[in-house]
C-alpha cells in the first residue's frame, strides 16, 4: 500500500513538471510568434528573389541577341526605305532598354531579358500624377483671345516651311492679313528646329530673306510655293518678281550669322523661347499664344481680339472652312484638327 502511494505521488509530480514545461513553451511561442513569422516571410522572399535572379540569369539572351530581336521587329513593321537607328541595349529595371530612331523621331523601348516580351513604351508611374496635373494646367492656360489690346496688334506665326499643318495655317491666315492690311503688324517666323530635312532649312531661310528684304512680295511667293510639294522656290521667286540677287546675298549672310541646321534653326530663337513655341504652327497675338481654328473666319476673330477698338475689317465675312493641310498637290483635306502640329514628342 505504501509503495502504491509513492508511485501515484511520483506520477503526479511528473505530470506537474510536464504541465509547467508546456506552459513555458506556449508562452515562449506566444511572445515570439511575430518574430518567427517575420523570419519565415523574409526567408521565403529571399528564396523567391534568388530564384527569379537565377531565372533571369539562365534565360538572359544577352545584349547582342536583344538588339537583333528589336531590329527584326522594326524591319517587319516600319515601311521599307524608312531611316531607322537602334542603340545598343542597356539593362534597366530588369529589362533591356533600347532607343529606336525612326525618321529622326527617337523613343525608348524595352525588351524582357528572355527576348519574349517587347514594350514600345514604358509609363513612369511616379510621374503619372505630375504629368496629369501639367496637362490639366496646360489645358486651363490655352487661350482663344489676346490678353493685351493695342491699336496695331502684332501677329506672329511660327511655322516649319514643309510642315503640312503650318501650310494649312498660312492658307487660312493670308486672307486675314490681306483683309486687315496695315492695321496689323504681321511676322512670319520659324520654329527653332526642323523635321523635314535640309530642304526645310533652305526654304526657311529663303522665306526669312524674302520677308526681310522684300516683304511686299512674300504673300505672292507663298501662294506659289504652296502649289508644288517638289519645291519650286526659284520659279516662285521669278513669278513673284523677287530680286534673287538680294535673296542670295541675304542667304549667305544668314548662314554665316546663325549657322542654321536641321536640329538647331536659331534665326528666331529668342521669340521661340519668349512665347514657349513648341511646334508648327503657333499663333501669337500681342504676346499671347492663341489656340484658333485654321479657317480664315476663326483666325480673323482671334487676331481682332488684340485690337483696342476693332476696325470695320473685323466684321468681314471670310471662309469658315479650314483649308486643306499640306501642299496643294498632296493636300490632306480640310477637316484636320486645329491642334494638329509638327512637333517633337515632349519627354
What domains are defined for the chain? 63-122 (3.10.450.630), 142-340 (3.40.30.10)
Residue 246: pLDDT over 90: yes
Hey, is 214 helix, strand or coil?
A: coil
Q: Tell me the sheet residues that pair with 90.
A: 97
Q: Model pTM?
A: 0.61
Q: Mean pLDDT across the stretch 80-86?
A: 73
Task: Identify whether the C-beta of residue 63 lies closer than 8 Å to the C-beta of residue 89.
Answer: yes
Q: At what angle do helices 198-213 and 218-225 cross, to 10 degrees?
A: 150
Q: Which pLDDT band, with edges at 50, 70 and 90, does 43 fall under? A: very low
> What torsion do the CA atoms of 317, 321, 327, 333 make, to the nearest 10 degrees?
-170
Q: Which of 288, 309, 342, 312 is nearest to 170 (CA)?
A: 342
Lowest mean pLDDT among 76-80, 95-99, 233-237, 245-249: 76-80
Q: Tell me the sheet residues that pair with 282.
A: 158
Predicted pLDDT of residue 243: 97
User: If you search the block for the grid coordinates 530642304, which residue do you land on?
Assistant: 199
258 or 68: which leads in pLDDT:
258
Q: Percentage of the chain surpassing pLDDT 70?
A: 71
Mean pLDDT for the chain?
82
108-138 pLDDT, tens per residue?
Answer: 888 888 888 877 766 666 555 555 555 545 4
22: cell is: 508546456
Residue 325: pLDDT over 70: yes
285 vs 298: CA distance, rounded Å:
13
Q: Please tell me whether the peptide bond between 197 and the residue prior to it is cis, using omega within 30 degrees of 0.
A: no
75 vs 192: CA distance, rounded Å:
31
Predicted pLDDT of residue 44: 46
* Residue 80: burial class (beta carbons within 10 Å; 0-12, 13-18, 19+): exposed
| Pairing mode, strands 105-112 and 118-119 | antiparallel
Q: Which pLDDT band, with edges at 50, 70 and 90, does 51 fall under? A: low
Task: Identify whether the C-beta of residue 160 lies closer than 8 Å to the C-beta of residue 281.
Answer: no
Q: Which pLDDT band, with edges at 50, 70 and 90, does 310 fall under? A: very high
192-215 pLDDT, tens per residue?
Answer: 999 999 999 999 999 999 999 999
Q: Mean pLDDT across the stretch 11-17?
A: 53
Sign of CA dihedral 72, 78, 82, 88: negative
Q: Which of 85, 77, 80 is nearest to 102 (CA)?
A: 85
Predicted pLDDT of residue 105: 64
30: cell is: 506566444
Amino acid at each position: 500500500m505504501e509503495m502504491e502511494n509513492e508511485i501515484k505521488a511520483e506520477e503526479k509530480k511528473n505530470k506537474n513538471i510536464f504541465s509547467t514545461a508546456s506552459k513555458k513553451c506556449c508562452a515562449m511561442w506566444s511572445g515570439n510568434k511575430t518574430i518567427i513569422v517575420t523570419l519565415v516571410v523574409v526567408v521565403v522572399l529571399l528564396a523567391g528573389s534568388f530564384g527569379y535572379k537565377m531565372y533571369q540569369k539562365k534565360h538572359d539572351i544577352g545584349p547582342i541577341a536583344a538588339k537583333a530581336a528589336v531590329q527584326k521587329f522594326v524591319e517587319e513593321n516600319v515601311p521599307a526605305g524608312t531611316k531607322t537607328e537602334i542603340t545598343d541595349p542597356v539593362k534597366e529595371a530588369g529589362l533591356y532598354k533600347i532607343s529606336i530612331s525612326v525618321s529622326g523621331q527617337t523613343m525608348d523601348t524595352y525588351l524582357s531579358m528572355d527576348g519574349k516580351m517587347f514594350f514600345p513604351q514604358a509609363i513612369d508611374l511616379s510621374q503619372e500624377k505630375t504629368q496629369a496635373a501639367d496637362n490639366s494646367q496646360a489645358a486651363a492656360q490655352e487661350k482663344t483671345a489676346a490678353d493685351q489690346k493695342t491699336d496695331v496688334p502684332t501677329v506672329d506665326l511660327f511655322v516649319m516651311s514643309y510642315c503640312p499643318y503650318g501650310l494649312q495655317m498660312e492658307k487660312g491666315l493670308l486672307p486675314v492679313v490681306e483683309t486687315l492690311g496695315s492695321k496689323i503688324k504681321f511676322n512670319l517666323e520659324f520654329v527653332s528646329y526642323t523635321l523635314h530635312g535640309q530642304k526645310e532649312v533652305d526654304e526657311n531661310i529663303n522665306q526669312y530673306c524674302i520677308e526681310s528684304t522684300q516683304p511686299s512680295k512674300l504673300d505672292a511667293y507663298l501662294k506659289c510655293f504652296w502649289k508644288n510639294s517638289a519645291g519650286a522656290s526659284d520659279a516662285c521667286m521669278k513669278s513673284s518678281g523677287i530680286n534673287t540677287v538680294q535673296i542670295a546675298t541675304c542667304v549667305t549672310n544668314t548662314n554665316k550669322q546663325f549657322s542654321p541646321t536641321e536640329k538647331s534653326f536659331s534665326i528666331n530663337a529668342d521669340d521661340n523661347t519668349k512665347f514657349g513655341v513648341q511646334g508648327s504652327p503657333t499663333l501669337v497675338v500681342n504676346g499671347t499664344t492663341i489656340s484658333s481654328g485654321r479657317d480664315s473666319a476663326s483666325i480673323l476673330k482671334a487676331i481682332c481680339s488684340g485690337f483696342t477698338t476693332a476696325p470695320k475689317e473685323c466684321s468681314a465675312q471670310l471662309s469658315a472652312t479650314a483649308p486643306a493641310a499640306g501642299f496643294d498637290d498632296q493636300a490632306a483635306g480640310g477637316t484636320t484638327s486645329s491642334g494638329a502640329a509638327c512637333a517633337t514628342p515632349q519627354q
